[in-house]
Amino acid sequence: MTDIAATRAGVAGAVSAAPERFVSEAIVPSIETCDTSLMASGGPGLPREFRWRGRPLAIKSLLRMWSDTGPCRNGSGEQYVRKHWFEVISGDDEVMKVYFDRQPRGGAKAPRWWLFSIGGERGTST
């Protein structure tokens, strides 16, 4: 299965459990592959494909998603979402953690999508 929306409930097939490897590199989304259903609910639309190190990086399925929040930077007591996290299965059947940074350092031109790690077991915390 390659449709992210259709595979949110589970993933068919085995996925290797290689040790988790920290990457922390910017990835470039293929905008035309974004999941618009996530965008309609106010979050970033997880693309089905990125470019990483000049090569395509396919997203086969979404395992889970979560967010990091932080206090308002202007002094109010409100909490704001800082990062949207996605644990995915790549086209090569590897578990990957990617995130979308809502307020990237470096302004509007700074990268917003990041490959955090490759490998590890499904559902392990960051």
Q: Is the pLDDT score of 1 beyond 70? A: no
CA dihedral 21, 106, 41, 59 (to 10 degrees): -30
Residue 13: inside a domain, yes or no?
no
Residue 51: inside a domain, yes or no?
yes
Residue 64: inside a domain, yes or no?
yes
Residue 8: inside a domain, yes or no?
no
Global confidence as pTM: 0.79
- Residue 116's pLDDT band, with cuts at 50, 70 and 90, is very high
Residue 14: inside a domain, yes or no?
no
Q: Is the pLDDT score of 66 beyond 70? A: yes
Residue 126: inside a domain, yes or no?
no
Residue 7: inside a domain, yes or no?
no
Q: Is the pLDDT score of 12 beyond 60? A: no
Structure confidence by residue, pLDDT tens digits, 97-108: 999 999 888 887
Per the structure, the complete domain to which residue 24 belongs is given by 20-118
The total domain count for the chain is 1
**CA–centroid distance for 13 within its chain:** 21
Residue 123: inside a domain, yes or no?
no
Please tell me which residue, 118 or 42, carries the higher pLDDT value: 118
Q: Is the pLDDT score of 23 beyond 80? A: yes
- Residue 124's pLDDT band, with cuts at 50, 70 and 90, is low
Which positions ≥6 away from 28 have C-beta within 8 Å? 50, 51, 52, 111, 113
